[in-house]
């Protein structure tokens, strides 16, 4: 097997809080999805470099007002995050907390390809958990600074009555902007290893990876900083994640790095063992490019084009809804060859529009283009293309109270209201809309365009600044939206969606 070239980041898209396992010759990765549905994505790879979206653990997590964007309720910055993926004695496990429900979730399946996960709910939060199996017992290690160990039933699906629930260790507190969290636990060659992220206020003042080890699960533990490097990217530290071995015995760490508005991106770091300590990187640095003894595989983008002609009426895996969708108000079959979105809920902001269909953006640049048929939209309806983040920007069609159509650009205004930046009368029954994203060197901007025929384009509005904030806690997403500010029942029909980025084979920069 000839070595392959690995370039970091391995995915320049929002895949945060990653947990990776290997089952025989196949690797699986789980990532945070928060308010996106279906949720808890499972990615698959044969070489740790090239990943594809394999499935989701659940279609919806809960059915309540916040998960369904009812009257301003939402789970932005909440929902599921920092899941732990494990494989033990023929069974796959995913566990995570949701801080909006104050519950701990454990999903299990014996066939990850069948996508029939069984759900188990345990009261209470276990922050950034790591599921851990040891000597016939099952634990979850969790917490921030104060790291706890809690015993579960042997099958991991509930708390064990009178089981262990105690403080395992306390990480450094003085001079820390972020104490140790994001645990990934392993037992290797007689040692227990706990990997964490932390963020000191002194020194390089960036996130870094730290490891605690002990001969006994319950300690005492000694610690060592494993990685304090920013991959030459604006002092944004590479940290939080776990380690994985290959069938040939090589070791890697899979961590992530903040990359501005595009989100938090996975980084693959070569690793060695020295005196039973893991050693990350090359001379303490994360290589931007390196050779790895791994098999070749197909390169996949995390997002993709869609002609909306799925025979089964289902959407490709790169699509996720913003919060829970209303299944009665979207269809791929009512109007063949179209994604039909009916305006069945009132709101005054695209941020709270039900049934906004989204997918990730990718760096260093990407482009989204769609065609919209507006003849069945009603007064007060707004439909189009959104760069969805707290500081969103949206281009689309708005129908006035008198029934006239306008091309508009909206952004977040003061007080959280939508602010109209531009408005141009439009007299045709269909329109092409485009969003050009630029994430190169943290430019983090989007520019909007429209066209009557998909060939001749005109810019509208102004270049809009995108920002990664904790309000959404997610990289900017591309979204197709339609909602009512007045009358319900209007219909927007999206005929096609084109996605273009350096990761798309034959990228042509236009539809």
- What integer is the mean pLDDT of 41-57? 98
| CB-based contacts of 271, cutoff 8 Å, min separation 6 | 243, 251, 252, 253, 278, 279, 280, 281
Q: Which of 263, 177, 230 is nearest to 468 (CA)?
A: 263
| CB-based contacts of 119, cutoff 8 Å, min separation 6 | 58, 105, 106, 107
pLDDT at 319 over 70: yes
Q: How confident is the model at residue 114 (pLDDT cuts 50, 70, 90)?
A: confident
Q: What pLDDT does 506 receive? A: 56
CA distance 240 to 130: 12
- What integer is the mean pLDDT of 326-347? 96
Range of weakest confidence among 76-80, 251-255, 264-268, 312-316: 312-316
Q: How many degrees, rounded to 5, is the angle at CA 78 between CA 197 and CA 97?
A: 65
- What integer is the mean pLDDT of 67-73? 95
Which pLDDT tens digit goes with each residue over 432-456?
Answer: 999 999 999 999 999 999 999 999 9
Three-state SS sequence of 195-225? EEEEEECCCCCCCEEEEEEECCCCCCCEEEE
CA distance 121 to 102: 10
The larger pLDDT score, comparing residue 242 to residue 299, is at 242
Q: What pLDDT does 156 receive? A: 97
Q: What pLDDT does 507 receive? A: 53
User: 350 φ, ψ to 5°?
Assistant: -65, -25
CA distance 182 to 129: 7
3-state DSSP assignment of residue 416? helix
3-state DSSP assignment of residue 104? strand
Three-state SS sequence of 334-375? CCCCCEEEECCCECCCHHHCCCCEEEECECCEEEEEEEEECC
User: What count of other Cβ atoms lies within 10 Å of the Cβ of residue 304?
Assistant: 19
CA distance 296 to 4: 7
Residue 331 burial (10 A CB sphere; 0-12, 13-18, 19+): middle
Beta-carbon-side half-sphere exposure of residue 262 (alpha carbons within 13 Å): 29
Structure tokens at 191: 């040692």
What are 322's strand-pairing partners? 36
Range of weakest confidence among 199-213, 301-315, 465-479: 301-315
Residue 250 burial (10 A CB sphere; 0-12, 13-18, 19+): middle
CA distance 409 to 112: 43
Q: What percent of the chain has pLDDT over 90?
A: 95
pLDDT at 493 over 60: yes
385 in Cβ contact with 482 (< 8 Å): no
pLDDT at 317 over 60: yes
Q: How many degrees, rounded to 5, is the angle at CA 362 between CA 368 and CA 80?
A: 105
pLDDT at 508 over 90: no
Q: How confident is the model at residue 362 (pLDDT cuts 50, 70, 90)?
A: very high
Q: Which of 236, 225, 301 is nearest to 264 (CA)?
A: 236
Range of weakest confidence among 86-100, 304-318, 328-342: 304-318
CA distance 278 to 283: 13
For all residues of the chain together, what is the average pLDDT?
Answer: 96
- What integer is the mean pLDDT of 339-359? 97
Range of weakest confidence among 182-196, 372-386, 460-474, 496-510: 496-510
Beta strand segments in 99-171, E = 103-109, 118-123, 130-134, 137-142, 146-152, 165-170
Q: What pLDDT does 414 receive? A: 84
Model confidence, pTM: 0.96
Q: What pLDDT does 416 receive? A: 80
Q: Which of 385, 373, 475 is nearest to 428 (CA)?
A: 373
Place of tokens 């050693």: 279
- What integer is the mean pLDDT of 238-250? 98
Which pLDDT tens digit goes with each residue over 270-280?
Answer: 999 999 999 99
> Looking at domain 320-500, which CATH architecture does it have?
Sandwich (2.60)
Query: What is the CATH superfamily name and number for domain 4-292?
Result: Glycosyl hydrolase domain; family 43 (2.115.10.20)
- What integer is the mean pLDDT of 388-394? 97
CA distance 267 to 197: 14
Place of tokens 């600044």: 465
pLDDT at 383 over 60: yes
- What integer is the mean pLDDT of 65-88? 97
Name the residue ranges covered by the structural domains of the chain. Answer: 4-292, 320-500
Structure tokens at 40: 């808890």
DSSP letters of 220-289? --EEEEEE---TTSTT--EEEEEEEE-TTS-EEEEEEEE-GGG-EEEEEEEEEEETTEEEESBTTB--SE
Q: What pLDDT does 502 receive? A: 87
- What integer is the mean pLDDT of 332-340? 95
Cis peptide before 38 (omega within 30 of 0): yes
């Amino acid at each position: 097997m000839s070595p392959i070239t690995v370039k970091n980041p391995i995915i320049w898209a929002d895949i945060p809080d990653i947990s990776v396992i290997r089952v025989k010759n196949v690797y699986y990765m789980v990532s945070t999805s928060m308010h996106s549905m279906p949720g808890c994505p499972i990615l698959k790879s044969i070489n740790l470099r090239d990943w594809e979206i394999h499935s989701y653990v659940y279609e919806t997590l809960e059915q309540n007002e916040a998960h369904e964007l009812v009257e301003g309720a939402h789970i932005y910055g909440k929902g599921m995050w920092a899941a732990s993926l494990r494989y033990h004695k023929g069974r796959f496990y995913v566990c995570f907390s949701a801080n909006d429900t104050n519950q701990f979730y454990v999903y299990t399946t014996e066939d990850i390809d069948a996508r029939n996960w069984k759900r188990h709910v345990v009261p209470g939060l276990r922050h950034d958990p790591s599921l851990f199996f040891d000597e016939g017992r099952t634990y979850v290690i969790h917490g921030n600074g104060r790291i706890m160990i809690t015993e579960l039933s042997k099958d991991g699906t509930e708390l064990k009555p009178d089981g262990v629930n105690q403080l395992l260790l306390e990480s450094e507190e003085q001079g820390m902007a972020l104490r140790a969290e994001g645990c990934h636990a392993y037992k290797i060659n007689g040692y227990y290893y706990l990997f964490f992220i932390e963020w000191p206020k002194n020194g390089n003042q960036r996130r870094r990876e730290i490891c605690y080890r002990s001969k006994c699960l319950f300690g005492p533990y000694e610690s060592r900083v494993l990685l304090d490097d920013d991959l030459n990217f604006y002092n944004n530290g590479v940290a939080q994640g776990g380690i994985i071995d290959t069938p040939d015995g090589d070791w890697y760490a899979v961590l992530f790095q903040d990359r501005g508005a595009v989100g938090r991106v996975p980084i693959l770091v070569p690793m060695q063992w020295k005196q039973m300590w893991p050693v990350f990187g090359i001379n303490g640095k994360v290589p931007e490019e390196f050779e790895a003894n791994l098999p070749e595989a197909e390169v996949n983008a995390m997002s993709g084009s869609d002609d909306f002609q799925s025979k089964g009426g289902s959407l490709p895996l790169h699509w996720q809804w913003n919060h829970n969708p209303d299944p009665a108000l979207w269809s791929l079959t009512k109007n063949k060859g179209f994604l039909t979105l009916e305006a069945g809920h009132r709101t005054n902001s695209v941020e709270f529009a039900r049934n906004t269909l989204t997918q990730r953006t990718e760096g260093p640049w990407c482009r989204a283009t769609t065609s919209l048929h507006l003849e069945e939209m009603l007064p007060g309806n707004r439909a189009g293309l959104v760069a969805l983040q707290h500081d969103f920007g949206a281009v689309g069609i708005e129908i006035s109270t008198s029934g006239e159509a306008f091309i508009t650009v909206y952004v977040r205004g003061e007080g959280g209201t939508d602010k109209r930046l531009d408005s141009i009368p439009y007299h045709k029954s269909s329109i092409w809309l485009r969003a050009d994203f630029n994430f190169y060197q943290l430019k983090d901007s989007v520019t909007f365009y429209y066209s009557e025929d998909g060939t001749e384009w005109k810019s509208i509005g102004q270049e809009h600044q995108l920002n990664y904030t904790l309000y959404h806690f997610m990289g900017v997403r591309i979204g197709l939206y339609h909602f009512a500010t007045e009358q319900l029942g209007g219909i927007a029909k999206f005929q096609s969606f084109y996605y273009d980025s350096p990761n798309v084979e034959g990228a042509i920069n236009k539809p």
